A and B are shown apart, each in its own frame.
Chain A
Amino acid sequence: MQRRLLLVGLVFILLWVVLALLAPWIAPYDPNGIRTEDKLQSPNMAHWFGTDNFGRDIFSRILYGARVTLWTGVLAIGIACVAGIPLGAIAGYFGGKVGNIIMRMMDTLLAFPSLILAMALAASIGPGLLGALLAVGIVAMPEFARLMYGQTVVIKEKEFIEASRALGVRHTAIIFQHILPNALAPLIVQITLGLGSAVLITSSLSFLGLGVRPPTAEWGAMISYGRDYIMSGEWWMTFFPGIAIATTIFGFILLGDGLRDALDPHGRSPRHK
């Protein structure tokens, strides 16, 4: 059962990755091509997912949107890892005052309502994707630091680490060669789940008008855009991008949960310590 769910998740993610990569070849229309004579068409044979108020093909926009969404997610989580993992490792490995201060800072960041923090950060850094992905990265960072901290504290007490230390191996070498590889499994799980929430926060930011520059096709922005058209019955402008977001997050969650079960035979969830 769990294996099957993992597979389903993998299929969803691979599907989106393939669609994103092949978008220029699959997409029937230019995602930003304006044909006002075709505006607000409901889904039909020519436009599978209908068109928006500029006559842009929603199906093509969703395909191109996958590129934006996946890229942002990967970059944002990349930032979170690059910043959070070393911080957590240092805090856990050296402990003491430094470790305490680092983890206190991370706790402080966690105490912020994450979306509000992301909004303020995105607004501060400025419009465009860069602002959004930095914001999402910073918001996701403490989770990684915490996880790495917990792992390091446990692993560093193990005998082989003590032995290396006694042999005079440098701290950085110990962290990189021994601790990191041993913490990899839970980190991979966290990365996968983190990608899911990165997609969610990025699209929420876009929905609130703090994401990509128009006319970039981005799912959250498309939903936000279609909002004014719900009451007048043009549901397809919001419906399809929503499905896209949901299936992507869905895929990451299944994948993450599945990986957790696969990598951790005891079935103990590493998230709830």
Chain B
Amino acid sequence: MTQKKFNVLIAALLVVLLLAGCAKNSNSNDTASTDGQSTTASTESAAGKTITLAYSQGAGQTMDPHDAGDLTSASYAFALYDQLVTSGTEEVDGKTMGRTDQIVPSLAESWTISDDLTTYTFTLRDGVKFQSGEPVNADAVVYSFERVQTKGEGGSAYTLANIKSVTKIDDKTVAFKLGAPNHLFLKYLATFSFSIVDPSIAKNNADDYLTTHSAGSGAYKLEKWDPATEAVFVANKDYWNGAPKVEKIVIKFVAEASNRELFLQKGEVDVAFDIPAKDVESLSKNDNVTINSESSNRIVYLGMNANFKPFDQLKVRQAINYVIDQNKLIQDVAYGQAAPLLSSISSKSPDYTAEGYEYKYDLEKAKALLKEAGYENGFTFDLTVNSSTQDYEDIAVLLKAELEKIGVTLNINKVAPAQYRELINNKKAAAYLGKYTSLVNDPSYHYGFLLESNGASNYTGYSSKTVDDLLAQANVEPDDAKRAELYKQVQKQVTADSPWAYLYESNLIVGISKDVKGYIFYPDEIARFSSLYK
């Protein structure tokens, strides 16, 4: 290259650089000061206006509330959209706690229930507008309930809620007709699936438009969603329930637990979800961080499929229960951030009872039961474990060691999430480690999925006529006390039949920077970030 050519090249480069230099610099303020240090990190100037969260469960699959099925997408739905009714809150020891078993008005300010309990008539709040400026009216409600039926997750909820028709009475009044009385209908309505979407946007775009755009009345609007890195939400200043106190919520997707923790310690995020239990103690010593560790609706259990030998025998299943030392698991795997599980439903659920749970760690008893069942010399089985969570592998390793003591060989079948779902869903796993957090906090929902004979999440093939009958009876029982009694009987029956070995109720651990306020924990584990402020 000759000297002359080289000079031309340099000159050209300089010109490009200079031109580009005029482009907006995203890390300097528009009113850049003229002193030497004009470039400062943007958060400096926006302090108090932005809250950054670190999410653990991925970037979410959709912004469409009717399609949402994972926790991340659900949390988007709660920020972008409103529902007719919503979950309540209560003050406990100066902390606000979400109560998914209590329902309070949201877009609907009031409602009446017909005497036969099958018609609910809602009166919509006055003057509520979508972010587009369109009014939230009966048409929007009717449209949303039409749309939700066509979607996978939302359609399921629609079917389960047993809605027969949704009719506009007048602009502010909507009537829901149910197929049968349903004591948890209002709880269903409070789920993200029944978000009210803006027909003016949803109707005028392609069906998948809402997958990446928002059209709600919620506290936040979607600004940017890049699944590789972050999602950004900006405040809806005209929110009917008061504009949010922060201007921006940034959500970072950080899959590794130790990285979320680091981010939090360095102040790069304000809230980090799913802090590893082992680090709670050390993190609590950090003065800038508060740890919020609450028991959610999540239960962790070992499912045993009765279609596989030897789990067809009650005594074998009971023997497994006697090998489980819940307190040891809680110490060694969950580092104390969990509680014993004494029923097939979480203790946060209505109508919970621990009655009938008599198992304790007792190897002799376990051996005796195995002998009675004809498995004196033990047996071998595969335990299917989801690779997505380290804790479950740890549980499996500990259980393997315990089971060896009674001559039972456990092979750990650790598989990727997609394979795990396929195996357990098709009831191809002889035994599996399961976790479940019912989205609707009610035994009817929980048992309908997990332990009713034809439940969609009944992966053990458990089938008990007694339980099915009791559930059918309870689902239409109008009297709260009588219904509670029925659900308690269900729990006792399930515990006696032991299709599962109970492991523990795990906590949701959230690390929050000291200057962030307004965090509310909900037992369904879905984050509601609209309430956060600095």
Direct contact of A and B (CB under 8 A): yes
Docked Cα-Cα span, A230 to B258, in Å, equals 8
Does B11 have its Cβ within 8 Å of any Cβ on chain A?
Answer: no
CB-contacts of A13-68 with B (<8 A): 32-34, 36, 39, 53-54
Whether A215 touches B397, Cβ cut-off 8 Å, given contacts A36-B332, A228-B276, A231-B261, is yes
Chain A neighbourhood of B400, CB < 8 A: 32, 215
CB-contacts of A162-217 with B (<8 A): 209-210, 213-215
Interface size on B, residues (CB 8 A): 28
Q: CB distance A228 to B258 under 8 Å? A: yes
Whether A231 touches B401, Cβ cut-off 8 Å, given contacts A213-B411, A214-B393, is no
Q: Interface centre among A39, A123, A232, by most B CB within 10 Å?
A: A232
Does B415 have its Cβ within 8 Å of any Cβ on chain A?
Answer: yes
Chain A neighbourhood of B397, CB < 8 A: 34, 54, 214-215
In the complex formed, the residue of A with least CB distance to B259 is A231
In the complex formed, the residue of B with least CB distance to A225 is B390
Chain A neighbourhood of B249, CB < 8 A: none
Write the nearest CB–CB distance from B365 to chain A, whole angstroms: 21
Q: CB distance A214 to B398 under 8 Å? A: no
Q: Is the interface of B mostly helix, strand, loop or mixed?
A: helix
Q: CB distance B387 to A209 under 8 Å? A: yes
Docked Cα-Cα span, A54 to B278, in Å, equals 13
Write the nearest CB–CB distance from B396 to chain A, whole angstroms: 7
Chain A neighbourhood of B276, CB < 8 A: 228
In the complex formed, the residue of A with least CB distance to B388 is A209
Docked Cα-Cα span, A32 to B403, in Å, equals 13
Q: Is the interface of A mostly helix, strand, loop or mixed?
A: loop
Whether A214 touches B412, Cβ cut-off 8 Å, given contacts A54-B398, A228-B276, is yes
Contact of A209 among B262, B396, B414 (CB under 8 A): B414
Q: Interface centre among B279, B400, B412, by most A CB within 10 Å?
A: B412
Write the nearest CB–CB distance from A207 to chain B, whole angstroms: 13
Q: CB distance B412 to A232 under 8 Å? A: no
Contact of A34 among B262, B282, B398, B416 (CB under 8 A): B398
Chain B neighbourhood of A54, CB < 8 A: 332, 394, 397-398
CB-contacts of B274-309 with A (<8 A): 276, 278-279, 282
Does B162 have its Cβ within 8 Å of any Cβ on chain A?
Answer: no
Chain A neighbourhood of B394, CB < 8 A: 53-54
Q: CB distance B414 to A214 under 8 Å? A: yes
Docked Cα-Cα span, A123 to B397, in Å, equals 21
Q: CB distance B393 to A232 under 8 Å? A: no
Q: CB distance B387 to A231 under 8 Å? A: no
Chain B neighbourhood of A39, CB < 8 A: 332
In the complex formed, the residue of A with least CB distance to B331 is A36
Docked Cα-Cα span, A22 to B412, in Å, equals 26
Does B163 have its Cβ within 8 Å of any Cβ on chain A?
Answer: no
Does B257 have its Cβ within 8 Å of any Cβ on chain A?
Answer: yes
Docked Cα-Cα span, A230 to B276, in Å, equals 13
Whether A34 touches B401, Cβ cut-off 8 Å, given contacts A127-B413, A127-B415, is yes
Chain A neighbourhood of B412, CB < 8 A: 213-215
B308-331 Cβ-contact flags toward A at 8 Å (1 or 0) = 000000000000000000001001
Chain B neighbourhood of A232, CB < 8 A: 258, 278-279, 282
Does A156 have its Cβ within 8 Å of any Cβ on chain B?
Answer: no
In the complex formed, the residue of B with least CB distance to A36 is B332
Q: CB distance A214 to B332 under 8 Å? A: no
Chain A neighbourhood of B416, CB < 8 A: 123, 209-210
In the complex formed, the residue of B with least CB distance to A33 is B401
CB-contacts of B395-409 with A (<8 A): 396-398, 400-401
Docked Cα-Cα span, A33 to B261, in Å, equals 30
Docked Cα-Cα span, A133 to B394, in Å, equals 25
Chain B neighbourhood of A126, CB < 8 A: 415
Docked Cα-Cα span, A68 to B33, in Å, equals 63
Write the nearest CB–CB distance from A111 to chain B, whole angstroms: 25
B253-280 Cβ-contact flags toward A at 8 Å (1 or 0) = 0001110011000000000000010110
Docked Cα-Cα span, A228 to B262, in Å, equals 11
Docked Cα-Cα span, A99 to B318, in Å, equals 62
In the complex formed, the residue of B with least CB distance to A215 is B397
Docked Cα-Cα span, A33 to B405, in Å, equals 12
Chain B neighbourhood of A36, CB < 8 A: 328, 331-332
Write the nearest CB–CB distance from B423 to chain A, whole angstroms: 11
Q: CB distance B262 to A231 under 8 Å? A: yes
CB-contacts of A57-107 with B (<8 A): none
Write the nearest CB–CB distance from A89 to chain B, whole angstroms: 37
Q: CB distance B257 to A228 under 8 Å? A: yes
Chain A neighbourhood of B415, CB < 8 A: 126-127
Docked Cα-Cα span, A146 to B416, in Å, equals 34
Docked Cα-Cα span, A230 to B262, in Å, equals 11
Docked Cα-Cα span, A213 to B394, in Å, equals 12
In the complex formed, the residue of A with least CB distance to B411 is A213
CB-contacts of B329-343 with A (<8 A): 331-332
Write the nearest CB–CB distance from A120 to chain B, whole angstroms: 11
Write the nearest CB–CB distance from B515 to chain A, whole angstroms: 23
Write the nearest CB–CB distance from B344 to chain A, whole angstroms: 27
Chain B neighbourhood of A214, CB < 8 A: 393, 396-397, 412, 414
Write the nearest CB–CB distance from A88 to chain B, whole angstroms: 34
Docked Cα-Cα span, A213 to B384, in Å, equals 11
A203-245 Cβ-contact flags toward B at 8 Å (1 or 0) = 0000001100111000000000001101110000000000000
Chain A neighbourhood of B414, CB < 8 A: 127, 209, 213-214
Write the nearest CB–CB distance from A119 to chain B, whole angstroms: 10
Write the nearest CB–CB distance from A230 to chain B, whole angstroms: 7
Chain A neighbourhood of B398, CB < 8 A: 34, 54
CB-contacts of A121-171 with B (<8 A): 123, 126-127
Docked Cα-Cα span, A52 to B364, in Å, equals 29
CB-contacts of B411-446 with A (<8 A): 411-416, 419
Docked Cα-Cα span, A36 to B279, in Å, equals 17
Docked Cα-Cα span, A67 to B401, in Å, equals 21
Chain A neighbourhood of B257, CB < 8 A: 228
In the complex formed, the residue of A with least CB distance to B332 is A36
Residues of chain A whose beta carbon lies under 8 Å from any beta carbon of chain B: 32-34, 36, 39, 53-54, 123, 126-127, 209-210, 213-215, 227-228, 230-232
Give 27 pairs: A residue, B residue, CB < 8 Å, sorted on A.
A32-B401, A33-B401, A34-B398, A53-B394, A54-B332, A123-B419, A127-B414, A209-B416, A210-B416, A213-B412, A213-B413, A213-B414, A214-B393, A214-B396, A214-B414, A215-B397, A215-B400, A215-B412, A227-B256, A228-B256, A228-B390, A230-B258, A231-B262, A232-B258, A232-B278, A232-B279, A232-B282
Give the top 5 A-B pairs by smallest Cβ distance, nearest first: A231-B258, A34-B401, A215-B397, A214-B412, A209-B387
9 further contact pairs, Cβ within 8 A, besides A33-B401, A127-B414, A214-B397: A36-B331, A53-B394, A54-B394, A54-B397, A213-B411, A213-B413, A214-B414, A215-B400, A231-B258
Residues of chain B whose beta carbon lies under 8 Å from any beta carbon of chain A: 256-258, 261-262, 276, 278-279, 282, 328, 331-332, 387, 390, 393-394, 396-398, 400-401, 411-416, 419
